[in-house]
Amino acid sequence: MILRISVGMRAVWYLFNEMEEKKSKISYFSANITPIISVSLVLLLLGIVGLLGIAANSLTDYVKENIGFDVIVNNNASQQEIDELKRLWTKAPYVSSVKYISKEDALQSWEKETGENLIEMIGVNPLSAEFEVRVKAKYVSVDSLNKIEHALKQMSAIDSIQMHKDVVEQINSNLKNVMLVLGSILIMLVVISFVLINNTVRLAVYSRRFIIHTMKLVGATPGFIRRPFILTNILNGLIASLVAVALLSGLLYYVVEVNRDYAGLVDVSQIGVVYGGLVVTGVVMCAVAALLSTNRFISLNYDDLFTK
């Protein structure tokens, strides 16, 4: 029994030596260039969709933080009350920026835009001082704005508040629809990606199905047979993901060169997350595909190797 196992393992060792000699005649990349290119193109599509989602979210946040609300100050409000409002919005967690426009500044803006001198026409300055408050993106919702409005209405220095709730509702609705579409596309791409990668890896394993059967005959365990296929495809996935990262970097560079305004939509940390996700996705998908394909051919009988 021991002699049979020893002979079997020597045969396996001899078989792997033969495989290595054949690999030395055909370079690694020439044998795996097709799977690497196929996987890299699939990962590139995933990366593009991921960056589009991040850019859409960043653009929406930028738009949200430029909405906010306007507060008209009561004409009878004292300078002390106005200063209290300034301090309030300086410390408020929901404020991203605040701009105070005095009655004099409002009058100058009116004269500059219309060319009319209200003092000469009416005799007094009818305009009121106001605050332009811009709210942080996470507070730009109808519920949050209602709470802010209710608290501000209790202050006697405030005459009226102009909340742009209809615009906020429209933006949030559009963002939800965009994210739903991008999320659906991403899920579809992940499923399609796995199918394509699985088929690519399966073809590579299929070409070696008789070697797998021979290894079974000489006593190699399933784990011993699977190991080289899984390791090879992990390396393929890693190389393919790096190729996809390089292509995506070139695409990003081109887009930023065309329009510098796009540079602020996605920061370096977010790009790093996408790149890391591509590497992990490529390696895991190739490894799982190799595992499934190898298990399938390990379980087949000799006669089935010609038909499946």
Whether 134 and 211 share a structural domain: no
Whether 85 and 135 share a structural domain: yes
Q: What's the pLDDT score for residue 28?
A: 59
Q: What's the pLDDT score for residue 279?
A: 93
Tell whether the model's pLDDT for residue 243 goes beyond 90.
yes
Tell whether the model's pLDDT for residue 24 goes beyond 50.
no
Q: Which whole number is the average pLDDT over 6-17?
A: 46
Radius of gyration of the chain measured on its C-alpha atoms: 33
Whether 187 and 294 share a structural domain: yes
Q: Give the start-end residues of each E strand in 93-231.
A: 95-101, 130-135, 158-163
Q: Tell me how far apart the 2 most distant CA atoms of the chain are, in Å.
A: 115
Q: How far apart are CA 298 and CA 221, in angstroms?
A: 10
Q: What's the pLDDT score for residue 5?
A: 39
Tell whether the model's pLDDT for residue 15 goes beyond 50.
no
Q: Which whole number is the average pLDDT over 269-298?
A: 86
Whether 233 and 270 share a structural domain: yes
Whether 130 and 33 share a structural domain: no
187 CB-contact burial (10 Å; exposed 0-12 / middle 13-18 / buried 19+): exposed
Q: What's the pLDDT score for residue 23?
A: 46
Q: What is the pLDDT of residues 174-230, one digit of tens each?
A: 878 877 887 888 788 778 878 877 787 777 777 777 777 777 777 777 778 788 888
Does the model's pTM come out above 0.85?
no
Confidence of residue 261 (pLDDT cuts 50, 70, 90): low
Q: What's the pLDDT score for residue 247?
A: 92
Q: How far apart are CA 202 and CA 71, in angstroms?
A: 65
Domain boundary among 138, 163, 188: 163
Whether 146 and 183 share a structural domain: no
Whether 93 and 204 share a structural domain: no
Q: What is the pLDDT of residues 37-48, one digit of tens each?
A: 888 888 888 888
Domain boundary among 163, 191, 210: 163
Q: What is the pLDDT of residues 71-128, one digit of tens each?
A: 888 887 788 888 888 888 888 888 888 888 887 777 777 777 777 776 667 767 677 7
Q: How far apart are CA 51 and CA 251, in angstroms?
A: 11
Q: What's the pLDDT score for residue 21?
A: 47
Whether 50 and 179 share a structural domain: yes
Residue type (1 letter), 82: I
Q: What's the pLDDT score for residue 275?
A: 92
Residue of higher predicted confidence among 3 and 53:
53
Whether 141 and 208 share a structural domain: no
Q: How far apart are CA 27 and CA 231, in angstroms?
A: 16
What is the count of structural domains for the chain? 2
Q: What's the pLDDT score for residue 25?
A: 43
Q: What's the pLDDT score for residue 264?
A: 66
Confidence of residue 246 (pLDDT cuts 50, 70, 90): very high
CATH number of the structural domain spanning residue 145: 3.30.70.3040
Note down the domain range covering 234.
Answer: 2-62+172-306
Whether 46 and 74 share a structural domain: no
Q: How far apart are CA 277 and CA 190, in angstroms?
A: 12
Whether 198 and 145 share a structural domain: no
Residue type (1 letter), 240: A
Pairing of strands 130-135, 95-101: antiparallel
Domain boundary among 163, 195, 225: 163
Residue type (1 letter), 69: F
Residue of higher predicted confidence among 265 and 150:
150
Confidence of residue 60 (pLDDT cuts 50, 70, 90): confident
Whether 139 and 232 share a structural domain: no
